[in-house]
Structure 1
Amino acid sequence: MEAVTAVWERYAAGRTPRRAVNAAGATTWLNWTQHADHGPNESLLGPVCGRRVLELGSGTGCNLAHLAQLGARCVGIDIAPSQRDKAEARWGSVPGLIFRTAEATEFLTRHPDSFDVVFSVFGPVWFTDPATLLPLVRQGLAEGGVFAFSHKPPQADPRPGNPLREARAVSRWDHSPQEWTTLLTSARFTNITTEIIDPPDGESEGTLLVRAER
């Protein structure tokens, strides 16, 4: 686990902080894709006001802070300790928002039936064996709860040079929409939808977006 944490700490150190304001002039927003001002918003999760929300891999907290501003009661976990520090420095005054340093499967094991929504944007769902993670996510959701996540679509010929893909401590589960549907069905999720969001003009990579319910 120390090796995995070290990889994510190095990754976090190289990340550029999110802008203070987006193209629409908003100071908080939820972005499912790797492209700025692109893709769906938080409506994918349904109404969030008053709901208990967990983000797996919350990073610097920008996505989760947006949901907290909408009235959700939010917990964000990230395996890299520095990410919690950054999130609290930027968003610590937002009511209903808590950040924790934790590994996803360990946290979910300790918190059954605790959340109405679990989501992840390019986070642990992409980097954790689904045979282990998906049952724990379902266990962490209340009845009827929503699970949603995004990551890059699988590549037929993965390109070299990705530091996370090459790190011996980190594996990545590049599943197709159909493969995720099969895995989620096996884990007893329902109302499963998957889509690949086309990239904006001038970009080549889309985003895989998945939603399911307990």
Structure 2
Amino acid sequence: MREQDAGAWDVWGAARPGRKDTNAAGAATWFNWTQWPDHGPDAKILGDLSGTRVLDLGCGSGGNLAHLATLGAEATGVDISPVQVSKAHERWPHLDVRQQTAEEFLAAGTYEFGAVCSVFGAAWFTDPAELLPLVHARLAPGGVYAFSHNPPALEGCYGPQASQMQPPEKGAEPLYVKRWDYQPGRWTEILQQSGFTEVTAEVIPPPAGKHTGTLLVRGVRAR
């Protein structure tokens, strides 16, 4: 366990409000790839999930994972933050949520997943050179890997960057984690070099009145 990273994500998770009881359509669970509520595509990006093992890397407090379970998926989530895992267990006690890094979980397992997803999660905050081979090895042939996060914040600043988490205590030193920023075309190349096919990478435009879109990347393990 990367203790400093876990502490940083605990700070972030403790400051985050829980997911609303219902969305704009009145649904109790839903899947949201973007940072904007009730905006963007849904879980269909991952294919037909009924009876399929699905893994959420960096599942946070479990909102997206809970929706995958309602679609008939055998859903498992992993997150490095004890605070986030506790939130998930409290709201959705039926969910299979593990407190582990994505790399630890993937390296230790033996069974295959029909889909792996990450929404502003471990796919953004783990070196792709380490994570992608592990994901590819655990995907079933024809399985989908999809993840989303912010597009690069600054033109020309690509690769590992620093994200700051500020503890609420007055005078507390900020905590930092690494994220990996790439443009859509570069993500496409990286996934293809890791053995994925049918790779797409696009920026979903933000809703009216907002300025930041969402980068959504998808690839398939060859059959």
Query: TM above 0.5, one fold?
Result: yes
Question: Tell me, what secondary structure is at the counterpart of 1:184?
Answer: helix
2:191 corresponds in structure 1 to 184
TM-score of the aligned structures, taking structure 2 as reference length: 0.89
Helix, strand or coil at the partner of 1:17: coil
CA contact (8 A) 1:112 1:139 kept: no
Q: Give the unaligned 5+ runs of structure 1.
A: none
Matches within 5 A, 1:1-214: 1-93=2-94, 97-156=95-154, 163-164=164-165, 169-214=176-221
Between the two proteins, what is the percent identity of the paired residues? Answer: 51
Figure out how many residues of one structure are paired with residues of the other and give that number: 209
Partner secondary structure for residue 34 of structure 2 = coil
Please report the TM-score for the alignment, with normalisation by the length of structure 1.
Answer: 0.93
**1:140 CA displacement:** 1.2
| Unmatched 5+ stretches in structure 2 | 167-172
Cα deviations by residue, 1:184-212 (Å, 9 ceiling, x for unpaired): 01100011011100000010000000110
2:169 equivalent in structure 1: none
What is the rounded CA distance, in whole Å, between the counterparts of 2:175 and 2:87 in structure 1?
Answer: 26
What amino acid is the match of 1:21? T
Q: Do the aligned residues in 1 keep the contact of 2:163 with 2:177 (CA within 8 Å)?
A: no
Mapped to 1, the partners of 2:78 and 2:174 lie a distance apart of 22
In 1, distance between residues paired with 2:147 and 2:66?
17
Conserved 8 A contact 1:112-1:141 = no
Shift of residue 84 of structure 1? 1.4
Distance 1:127 1:187 in 2: 18
Q: Distance in 2 between matches of 1:18 and 1:60?
A: 8
Instruction: Name the CA shift for 1:36/1:179 in 2 (closer, same or farther; >3 Å).
Output: same
Amino acid of the structure 2 residue aligned with 1:40: P
Matched residue type, 2:36: H
**Superposition deviation, residue 106 in structure 1:** 1.0
How much has 1:172 moved relative to structure 2?
1.0
Q: How far is 1:36 from its partner? A: 0.7
CA shift digits 1:22-66 (9 cap, x unpaired): 001101000000001100011111111100000001111110100
TM-aligned CA deviation for residue 114 of structure 1: 2.1
Q: Which amino acid aligns with 1:212?
A: G
- Relative to its length, the structure with more strand (as a share) is 2
Paired amino acid for 1:66: H
Checking the alignment, whether the CA contact within 8 Å between 1:113 and 1:139 is kept in structure 2 is no
2: distance between equivalents of 1:65 and 1:5? Answer: 22
